Structure 1
Amino acid sequence: MKTFVLGGGCFWCLDAVYQKTQGVSSVVSGYAGGHVRNPGYYEVCSGTTGHAEVVAVTFDENVIPEEIILDMFFALHDPTTLNRQGYDVGTQYRSVMFYATQEEKDLFEKAIARNQPLWSKEIVTEVSRLPEFHEAESIHQNYYAKFPEQGYCQVIINPKLAKARKYYSSWLRA
């Protein structure tokens, strides 16, 4: 099993897709990259903690290649916008990949290079050493499954799920 810690805007979006991905055994929403110990959601949303909203995606690389996990990451958000995803603005919504090993760092940098031709602007995804990971409050875990009718889920997450189904249908569970 392997775990990648990735941030691409609101963690609910990445969580929703990776929860439906074959070979993924767990997705934990959380916060990483900041200077405050044990931050809470409202602190992180204030933009004052330095943390990004992230997901820790644990998967079996014998079932789903790590390249697919990373290519999905680049398809699910706009990695060319600095510190924003749509209406979510601030460093807490930055595009970021946190590595634990040099091998992961190299893999992440290769994923950026592989995905760059798909974008007309430069990818600005940050690649940083994994600091302490703080698990988000329970309400944020598997959010889409709990609240599929909520407005944010309908307007923001559903189109991302549709895009994932279009390009990665063979890797997604119903």
Structure 2
Amino acid sequence: MKNKIQPINKERKLKEEDFIVSKTDPSGRITYTNRIFMQIAGYSEAELLGQQQNIIRHPDMPRAIFQLLWDTLKQGREFFGYVKNMSRDGSFYWVFANITPTLNPSGKLVGYYSVRRRPKEESVRLIEPIYAEMLAVEQRAGARQAIQASTQLLQAKLTDYGSDYEHFVLEI
């Protein structure tokens, strides 16, 4: 299901006690979703199962963040990050995501487990302009150079903060 939804400027917010939980196979296809995920995203379980996790991707998210996410997971490490998602009606919601590779007893990757919670508003205020600048750089750079250009910008900003992405997002 290709996401052709037009974003609208309406924010949904998770409650403080809400946790979005999902599981995917190794290619990112949803194999499990909890009710909170279905409620905030506006999809039924049947509509989500088997779909790529990016069904909820908001166009305001820089591609470089998803490249960083996948690079981190492919190294067998868990990923922490702020993500702006889009609901079925075009509204948006921010999450603080923790995504962990799931291994079987012999150590083979069998999927990913993701828990997302409501982010601190001050953290979103800090990360949102960085993502907007990264997205602008990606658009100027063109499709082939977008991720590289955006990653360079992010690295420069993180160097100014004296941090890497994981530590930065965990600290803010």
- TM-score tier, shorter chain, comes to under 0.3
Larger Rg: 2
TM-score normalised per structure 2: 0.26
